[in-house]
């Protein structure tokens, strides 16, 4: 199940608004550690009413996908390596006339993407 913050972000985006969870933001979430989980403690998104539980639940599947894809992106980012190393790999591929799918850079990136597919 997607986190409350992800569902709130998706609800706002679907309504052409932005959720800001910062200290001076327009949405505040709270968890009282009472076993009931987090809830919206304050809501001041201009021009958009606070979502109902049903409206948030409608974004659960999309939220799961977004959270999974965010994990994949983070994993990929780490596996890709430093951008300087990638550029060096590309440079060496260009020198060897391997600026296509036969180059080491392409093979490396493809291996990372294949090992970490998005939903």
Model-level pTM? 0.75
10: pLDDT strictly greater than 90: yes
50: pLDDT strictly greater than 90: yes
- Specify which residues 40 forms β-bridges with: 29
Residue pLDDT, tens place only, 20-42: 999 999 999 999 999 999 999 99
Give the DSSP per-residue string, 4-24.
HHHHHHHHHHHTT-----STT
Say how far apart CA 17 and CA 67 lie, in whole Å.
Answer: 20
Residue pLDDT, tens place only, 78-110: 999 999 999 999 999 999 999 999 999 999 999
Say how far apart CA 47 and CA 50 lie, in whole Å.
Answer: 10
Percent of the chain whose predicted confidence (pLDDT) is above 90 = 96
| Domain locations along the chain | 1-69, 81-119
**What pLDDT does 1 receive?**
87
- Specify which residues 68 forms β-bridges with: none
Say how far apart CA 19 and CA 63 lie, in whole Å.
Answer: 14
C-alpha closest to that of 6 among 54, 47, 65, 72: 65
């Amino acid at each position: 199940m997607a986190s409350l913050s992800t569902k709130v972000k998706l609800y706002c985006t679907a309504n052409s608004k932005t959720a800001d969870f910062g200290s001076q933001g327009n949405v505040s979430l709270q968890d009282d550690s009472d076993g009931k989980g987090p809830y919206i403690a304050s809501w001041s998104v201009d021009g958009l009413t606070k979502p109902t539980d049903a409206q948030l639940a409608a974004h659960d599947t999309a939220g799961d996908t977004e959270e999974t894809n965010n994990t994949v992106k983070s994993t990929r980012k780490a596996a890709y390596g430093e951008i300087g190393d990638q550029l060096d790999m590309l440079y060496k591929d260009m020198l060897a006339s391997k600026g296509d799918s036969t180059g080491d850079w392409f093979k490396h990136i493809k291996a990372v993407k294949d090992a970490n597919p998005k939903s």
